Amino acid sequence: MTSGRIIAVETSCDETAVAVVQEGRRIVANVVASQVALHAATGGIVPEVAARAHLRWMIPVLEEAERRSGISDWSDVEAVAVTEGPGLAGSLLVGITMAKTLAYVHGLPLVPVNHLEGHIYAAWLLDHDDPDRPAPEFPVVALVVSGGHTFLVEMTDHLTYRLLGQTVDDAAGEAFDKVGRLLGLPYPGGPAIMRAAAAAQRRDRQFPRAWLGETFDFSFSGLKTAARRAIEAEAGASVDGSSNGEGPGVRPGTRAETAENSDGLPEPVVAELAYAFQESVVDVLATKTGLAAERCAARTIILGGGVAANTVLRDRIAARAAALGIPLVVPRPALCTDNAAMIGAAGFFRTRAGTRAPRDLDARPSLKLAV
């Protein structure tokens, strides 16, 4: 069977997703059940809760993907692709179990896919009604930025990765979530910080940048600490009633009194801090990506992962790419966050390369993309 049609399953974290992708490019169906609202109350993902939610949504999501794609007898499906890692062990196991079952029942190859390469291959995807466009041209420099991962890789061909740099501590997305929580903004922190930063009137505050010398590695733990200290200082000023003249103070005992619950800060102060934090993250990511593309003589820059939905980051890297005369490919926001279409795209190239999962395929929570 060489139909080029791949059905893919993705459950690495808190999105239950099934997709059908043609020839590694055209999305036939892409269904995602999000758990964002479920985890908002805790301000982050609780692994056991996520795994149980996957169990609840796996069958309905599969059935909806079958309906949208028109699959009836599965005769035109070439393989079943599934995320084997990295991710949360319990969540991964739900998707792997479903994919194993589908492959066995329908007599199809089971193809394991690295979740991180899925984020890169999202750049190859076309929606069902999109006009054709050229695929990314190698060599490619790809920046993947998400809640759990931040790294730069070079690709000289399909499925060939050379790690250029990665975070040495916290991922950018995790830093956004943490600082958003410190500012009293809703979960997830990335979109909330972007919205708050857009309203900033004062844009002269500076947070530190961790350049880490000549490397392409990243570090955001020090930035988180700087943000915490700045928020604590502003919270203390607000409690005293001064608040830098930006707004009314708050009473002792309110949520602004501690940095972990500082949503009582005046909105102008929150906006100012959000802007300074975002600028620090975006500056480092965009500068290092542009430098990596230049040194690797890249013909395409790819930006992927959940944080790639940030319009400031997109615009900044687009400016860097334009200055170098290199095209930038960024999937639409829904394809930057976790979805199964990106697994189907990577799964197609893995299928054609002969990659097959062992019968005892298991979750690999710490799976690496490249070393």
Q: What is the pLDDT of residues 119-128, one digit of tens each?
A: 999 999 999 9
Over 60: is that where the pLDDT of 248 sits?
no
Q: Are residues 279 and 338 in the same domain?
A: no
The tally of domains found in the chain comes to 2
Q: Are residues 100 and 211 in the same domain?
A: no
Over 80: is that where the pLDDT of 249 sits?
no
Quick check: is 159 in a domain? yes
Q: What is the pLDDT of residue 355?
A: 97
Query: pTM for this one?
Result: 0.91
Q: What is the pLDDT of residue 41?
A: 82
Which amino acid, 243? S
Q: What is the pLDDT of residue 371?
A: 64
Q: What is the pLDDT of residue 236?
A: 84
Over 60: is that where the pLDDT of 274 sits?
yes
Mean pLDDT score across all residues of the chain: 92
Q: Are residues 110 and 198 in the same domain?
A: no
Burial 297-316 (b: 16+ CB within 10 A, else e): ebebbbbbbbbbbbebbbeb
User: What number is the average pLDDT over the span 103-114?
Assistant: 97
Q: At what angle do helices 267-295 and 311-324 cross, to 10 degrees?
A: 30
Quick check: is 361 in a domain? no
Over 80: is that where the pLDDT of 131 sits?
yes
Q: Are residues 164 and 291 in the same domain?
A: yes
pLDDT class of 250 with cuts at 50, 70, 90: very low
pLDDT class of 253 with cuts at 50, 70, 90: very low
Quick check: is 232 in a domain? no
245: left (phi over 0), alpha (psi -120 to 50) or beta: left
User: What number is the average pLDDT over the span 15-34?
Assistant: 98
- Structural domain harbouring 208: 140-220+268-329
Task: Find out whether 73 and 108 touch, Cβ atoms under 8 Å.
Answer: no
Q: What is the CATH number of the domain that holds 289?
A: 3.30.420.40
User: What number is the average pLDDT over the span 305-315?
Assistant: 96
Quick check: is 40 in a domain? yes
Over 50: is that where the pLDDT of 262 sits?
no
